[in-house]
Structure 1
């Protein structure tokens, strides 16, 4: 998904963040235990697990993360694939429990982490709106009040009562974005799931996010586009192999990361 350029952003009034902390991570680490050898079947896995014959090795997705995000801040997260960016967002969204450390979040979160996350393929689009809205902590009345807006924003009037399994990738993305942004959250978490869809809908997404930004919503976003990070974000963090490599003003972090990427390309 493309975002406003620096020149486009200059024409927009951007609300400066306060120093009120809304996200705090203290010594957060996430470790996965992976089998050292390949196991062919579930039956074999269960037998070997019961016999304690499986050897594991540890894979650290995050290591000793200390981080604060402030109210009204647009906070960028950059790094190579596998650096721990999505894991960090999942920890903040309370989807994933850290192995060690503490996570503190103030306010209601709207997470856009995975395409179709929280949806059921056999339910209709309408039914999935109620399902996903409930998972976001909304009451049935709140969902009913925003139902027409969600359907209209997602441009799914002719398909809303069809099963989700019949939707294209772009249709699922539109529905997911519409549900997640139907209510103005305290914190919006955006992974790079918005890179799908046509340019017209991406522009609608940009406009909606700009509304949130100008109303003081805190936004955490993963992006591989350094111009996007420089244009939109107040601060950013650069992750590599689960560790913080740089944390500070977005332009400085983006420049440092870009320099390393260019050097690696030779």
Structure 2
């Protein structure tokens, strides 16, 4: 096994089935307690695997089986209820691309803010600024001084992808972001991903696209109802997933 970049050990994440809400004043007077259901379920349970340096791993499974939850736990967005998920190097999270952008700030300001939060100095952002904007496209360049909230959703995603993929982090976490945008932009994203992988970066990809999984990943991990049921060559794992999906 190459140097371990991601270690997931006996991982468990427990959620409430309903969003627990704060009591309103009326509820406090009439009922005196929160009546929201308290039933829980395990989104992930007893998940174990490691990812080595330079590996490209694709995560497969049906909707609601815990794929995005696992990715967010690895990214540090969620805290496990059991076990742990550790990364031994920095992470570039292509998960919710525009989540860290502030709507009232301009696109230019958001580039510096987001890249800075991921560890780039102002001088480093200066050096990469034109490449970021060129990748995001001419509409983004024309709107650099515009508040980010006035961008279309497509423009927001373009800028988010351009910023995150310019980071120097050795681990890339990707959650379905390659499915967005028009055909030309998708191909730009594919080429950028291939450039990153050619630099021996470690990839952890969530996707429903078998073409994308085969294009970028050599190893597959299959989640079913929050449990890891297969870990092996990408083609073999996709075959098992397809057979079980057809029989369900």
Does TM-score exceed 0.5, indicating one fold? Answer: yes
- Tell me which of 184, 197, 201 is aligned to 2:185: 201
Name 1:14's counterpart in structure 2.
Answer: none
* Among candidates 7, 13, 28, match of residue 30 of structure 1: 13
2:107 aligns with one of 125, 133, 138: 125
Give the match for residue 185 of structure 1.
169
Describe the shift of the 1:44–1:100 C-alpha distance in structure 2 as closer, same or farther (beyond 3 A): farther
Checking the alignment, whether the CA contact within 8 Å between 1:78 and 1:239 is kept in structure 2 is: yes
Distance 2:27 2:89 in 1: 41
Task: Measure, in 1, the Cα distance between the counterparts of 2:157 and 2:52.
Answer: 28
The answer to whether residue 169 in structure 2 is matched with residue 163 in structure 1 is no
1:217 counterpart residue number: 201
Say which SS state the counterpart of residue 71 (structure 2) adopts. helix
Distance apart, 1:235 and its partner CA: 0.8
Give the alignment partner of residue 84 of structure 1, picking from 52, 66, 70.
66
Matches within 5 A, 1:36-185: 42-43=24-25, 51=33, 55-155=37-137, 156-185=140-169
Render the CA deviation track for 1:135-157: whole Å, top value 9, x for unaligned.
32222232222222111111121
Could you tell me which residue of structure 1 aligns to residue 228 of structure 2? 244
Distance apart, 1:222 and its partner CA: 0.6
TM-score by length of structure 2 reads: 0.90
For 1:49 and 1:20, the matched residues in 2 are separated by 56
Give the match's secondary structure for 1:142.
helix
Q: 2:219 aligns to what? A: 235
- State the distance in 2 between where 1:78 and 1:47 align: 48
CA distance in 2, matches of 1:102, 1:20: 18
Q: Alignment partner of 1:137: what SS?
A: coil
Do the aligned partners of residues 248 and 51 (structure 1) sit closer, same or farther apart at CA in structure 2, a change above 3 Å counting? same
Q: What are the ranges of 5 or more consecutive residues in structure 1 without an aligned counterpart?
A: 1-17
Judged with a 3 Å threshold, the aligned counterparts in structure 2 of structure 1 residues 56 and 48 are, in CA distance, closer, same or farther, namely farther
CA distance in 1, matches of 2:30, 2:119: 41
State the Cα RMSD in Å.
2.4
| Counterparts of 1:49 and 1:30, CA distance in 2 | 31
Partner secondary structure for residue 184 of structure 1 = coil
Question: How big is the shift at 1:42?
Answer: 4.5
User: Distance between the aligned counterparts of 2:31 and 2:10, measured in 1?
Assistant: 31
Distance of 1:147 and 1:27 partners within structure 2: 41
Q: TM-score, normalised on structure 1?
A: 0.85
Contact 1:112/1:191, CA 8 A, preserved across alignment: yes
Q: How many residues align?
A: 246
Give the deviation of 1:212 after TM superposition.
1.0
